[in-house]
Amino acid sequence: MNDFPRCWVEIDIRAFEQNLNRVRELTPSANVMAVIKADAYGHGMMLAAKQLETADEFAVTSIEDVEKLHACGVDKPLTLLSSTFDKAALEYFSQQSIRPVIYDYEQLAVVSELSAGAELDLWVKVDTGMGRLGFDADELLMVCKRLQSSEGVGSISLMTHLANADVPTDARNERQISAFRSLIFSANENGIFFKQVSMLNSAGVVGLHHAAFDIVRPGVMLYGISPTVGVSAQKLGLKPVMSLKSKVISVRRMAAGSSIGYGGTYTLDADSRIAYIACGYGDGYPRHAPNGTTVSVNGFLVPLVGRVSMDMIAVDIGELPVQVGDIAVLWGEENPIEEIALSAGTIAYELTCGVTRRVKRRIVGENGT
């Protein structure tokens, strides 16, 4: 009955291993904390956890994610990147070897309530220029001293996050890196030693691997998406995990002067053929994709014309051999998601996270399929 879905994503599970191998090649001395938050950027958290089982650790952002991973038997060290918690949650973390990230004084107060023997391993996050979560650089020493004297604390690790790593030549990256290095140095001078130190996201792994420290935190590149502005995934040796696919549901010959879709934002200047594809913003295709955004239909790259509707888009196929039932690749290896995102004024992260629930998932790459 449902062999003919209107729109689906394909998840190529073989790509995970290739992408993780690229991380290992780029930062060979560092361990890898695979970031699988946001349902693995829309790819499916449990599936990603299974395919990335050779990663050293995983990072998520909610206790619900932790519980799901544990329920499925994942026993790797887990880091909770950005979450509030109470004392009971911390006790659970310490029993389960889950490391929370401590980034403010409210969390610090809860940590200090822990009794001796809890041996909670945790991360401290310091803000070296991201302007998001974290302690100020000049607070770090005092915070670490407080943690070190809290009886429930086991080990302390240190992380920071880069704000501009997607442009590796941006001078602010080296400023963050040297600020981070001097913080580590002065902590060590003051008798504070970190179990692990971590700085790099995917873009850092690609462009700033001299700052790999003990463990890197790639997310997007594990899904085969380029983290670096203006550099393709293919060039970086990454293979896209997700493709968004659909089918042609109608082909019409239209006369010059016809306008296409809501608002009539595109008018044909010559007679042509228009193919309608069953994928729209109701599936997660970006509504702001303009005329000219590339769609691959039956292997041909053709331009989107007219506004994106909830359930369909239109493309100008001219006299190309395209007919009803042909497959369209909205994004995937033959039609890179980075370019679709650029065209629509967004980033690939938002596109994969935004695939909606009605879109069916097909796993490819299992048993050679």
Q: Which is nearer to ligand PLP, 125 or 245 (CB)?
A: 125
Cβ nearer to ligand PLP, comparing 37 with 247: 37
CB of 163 to ligand PLP, least distance (A): 11
Residue among 121, 205, 128 at smallest CA distance from 159: 128
CB of 77 to ligand PLP, least distance (A): 15
Nearer to ligand PLP, 199 or 297 (CB): 199
Residue partners of 16: CB distance under 8 A and separation at least 6: 48, 51, 52, 222, 241
We find the least distance from the C-beta atom of residue 169 to ligand PLP, in angstroms, to be 17
Question: Per-residue b/e over 289-305, b at no fewer than 16 CB within 10 Å?
Answer: bbeebbbbbbeeebbbb
* Distance (Å, whole) CA 67 – CA 46: 11
Nearer to ligand PLP, 18 or 112 (CB): 18
Q: How far apart are CA 276 and CA 252, in angstroms?
A: 8
CB of 363 to ligand PLP, least distance (A): 22
Within 53-201, residue ranges assigned H as helices are 63-71, 87-96, 105-112, 140-149, 171-189
Residue 294 is encoded by which pair of tokens? 């590339």
Q: Which is nearer to ligand PLP, 161 or 239 (CB)?
A: 161
Closest approach of Cβ 126 to ligand PLP, in Å? 12
> Quick one: 66 or 203, whose CB is closer to ligand PLP?
203
Residue 217 vs 247, nearer CB to ligand PLP = 217
Contact 56, 74 (CB under 8 A): no
- Pairing between strand 327-331 and 242-254? antiparallel
If we measure between CA atoms, which residue out of 26, 37, 41 comes closest to residue 63?
37
Give me the residue whose beta carbon is nearest to ligand PLP.
Answer: 219
Beta bridge partners of 277: 248, 313
Task: Provide φ and ψ at 239, rounded to 5°.
Answer: -120, 125
Residue ranges in contact with ligand PLP by CB under 6 A = 35, 37, 81, 161, 201-203, 217-220, 227
265 phi and psi angles, rounded to 5 deg = -80, -5
- For the chain, the C-alpha Rg in angstroms (whole number) is 24
Positions marked active-site = 37, 262
In the bound complex, what is the minimum distance in angstroms from residue 102's beta carbon to ligand PLP?
13
Region of residue 29 (left: phi > 0; alpha: psi -120 to 50; beta: else): alpha
CA separation for the pair 274, 206 (Å, rounded): 40
**Do 285 and 6 form a contact (C-beta atoms < 8 A)?**
no
Cβ of residue 61: shortest distance to ligand PLP, in angstroms?
Answer: 7
